[in-house]
A = this chain, B = another copy of it.
Amino acid sequence: MPSISEKGRLMPASPIRKLVPFAEEAKRQGRKIYHLNIGQPDIATPQVALDAIRENRLRVVEYSHSAGNESYRRKLADYYRNLGIDVDHTQLIITTGGSEAILFALMSCLNPGDEVIVPEPFYANYNGFAVTAGVKIMPVTSYIDNGFALPPIAEFEKLLTPRTKGIIICNPNNPTGYLYSQEEIEQLGELIKKHDLYLFSDEVYREFCYDGKVHFSAMEIKDAEQNVILIDSVSKRYSACGVRIGALVTKNREIINTAIKFAQARLSPPSFGQIIGEAALDTPAEYFCHVQQEYIERRNLMVSMLNNIDGVLCPMPTGAFYTTARLPVIDADDFSQWLLSDFHYENETVMLAPASGFYSTPGLGKDEVRIAYVLKKEDLEKAIVCLEKALEIYPARKKS
């Protein structure tokens, strides 16, 4: 039997994968599980987008242009210009989810062995795309004690080597919920200009900013047009994760001309996803007001309940719909498994994402978990009560 590839061996499994069999067993035993572990919102996809699919009259579902339908690209460019990101339809490629945009960006810009600096904790799938592209992730640690703010630029500079080619940020951040300020993004701007690095800016949670804070896009950094690549997706914005539509956006013509060759090899992005994505651009503003209000209420409930639990520290996230919280446990991986295998309260339990999977530096995040507040308030409340009860009796609790 021939052997599998080295990259195949190196590919990380999903961080919650080892929990799945325990969750399945708990379900078999009739237990209700509150899923705080995944970023799959329960919010409805905008009606205007769902209607577009139901009313489509395609007779042949044909390939689209490899860069996506031109009508969609033009309308998406309008959306960006309304946000102050000055691009036209030739400066973006519609991709199969934000995932493909990240992969095309890394493949177009970096060589195997090149290094990218990423603030940790970070979205775990960056690891998979880095392995695919043969790129090495160099983590720069952010800390819970200042709410996971951008690490000092000096910490990035310490990691620079001749192989450093770029920085990846996620803003607002998954898994921390931290929204980078304009000043922080501009500091990164100075850094990439000084050392001529790429900045890959994953801004798929752009619409989820709270407390009057305004999102400042990496595309707005002055005089860095050739260095910035925006990664985008409709998944979270329109609660349409399954359509697999994203975008790679850059004013760097050479990158567009390169990425389009990767796009041509895979022919086209999904047709029905493009129909949803284009129609969703007509979503009325009230939709986002309602969704934002809902997330703010959930967040406030969750943060205050968590911080009222003895030994728990939960920073106040100002973006996305995640928080990374510290629990009074020695090992959050063990605790998360124990919640599924050994615990229930009124026949219910909670599934968490242990934060260790979001750190690249071994040993970090051992007492942290990512919590996605994607459940309606009454369920969120029950879930956190469950968590509180669990922490009261969990045997491997950390001494305070």
By a beta-carbon cutoff of 8 Å, the part of chain A in contact with chain B is 1-2, 4-9, 11-14, 17, 38, 40-45, 50, 53-56, 58-64, 66, 96-97, 99-100, 103, 107-112, 125, 127-129, 132, 134, 165-166, 196-198, 226-227, 239-244, 252, 254-255, 258-259, 261-262, 264-273, 276
Closest to A96 in B: B96
Docked Cα-Cα span, A111 to B3, in Å, equals: 10
Among the listed B17, B103, B107, B243, which residue makes an inter-chain contact with A271, where contact means beta carbons less than 8 Å apart? B243
State whether B243 touches A267 (Cβ < 8 A).
Answer: no
Closest to A126 in B: B265
Docked Cα-Cα span, A134 to B133, in Å, equals: 10
Give the number of times this chain occurs in the complex, counting copies: 2
Q: Which residues of B contact A243 (CB under 8 A)?
A: 61, 270-272
Closest to A274 in B: B242
State whether A13 touches B261 (Cβ < 8 A).
Answer: yes
Among the listed B99, B261, B271, which residue makes an inter-chain contact with A128, where contact means beta carbons less than 8 Å apart? B261
State whether B50 touches A58 (Cβ < 8 A).
Answer: yes
A-B contact pairs, 15 of them (CB 8 A): A1-B226, A1-B227, A2-B226, A4-B258, A54-B54, A61-B242, A96-B96, A107-B132, A112-B134, A125-B264, A125-B267, A134-B134, A241-B268, A244-B270, A244-B271
Q: Which residues of B contact A60 (CB under 8 A)?
A: 41-45, 239-240
Among the listed B11, B38, B112, B244, which residue makes an inter-chain contact with A265, where contact means beta carbons less than 8 Å apart? B11
Among the listed B13, B42, B55, B107, which residue makes an inter-chain contact with A8, where contact means beta carbons less than 8 Å apart? B107
State whether B5 touches A132 (Cβ < 8 A).
Answer: no
Q: Which residues of B contact A96 (CB under 8 A)?
A: 96, 244, 266, 270
Write the nearest CB–CB distance from A353 to chain B, whole angstroms: 14
Docked Cα-Cα span, A183 to B269, in Å, equals: 38
Beyond A4-B258, A109-B2, whether A61 also contacts B239 by CB under 8 A is yes
Beyond A5-B110, A109-B5, A252-B1, whether A264 also contacts B14 by CB under 8 A is yes
Docked Cα-Cα span, A239 to B62, in Å, equals: 8
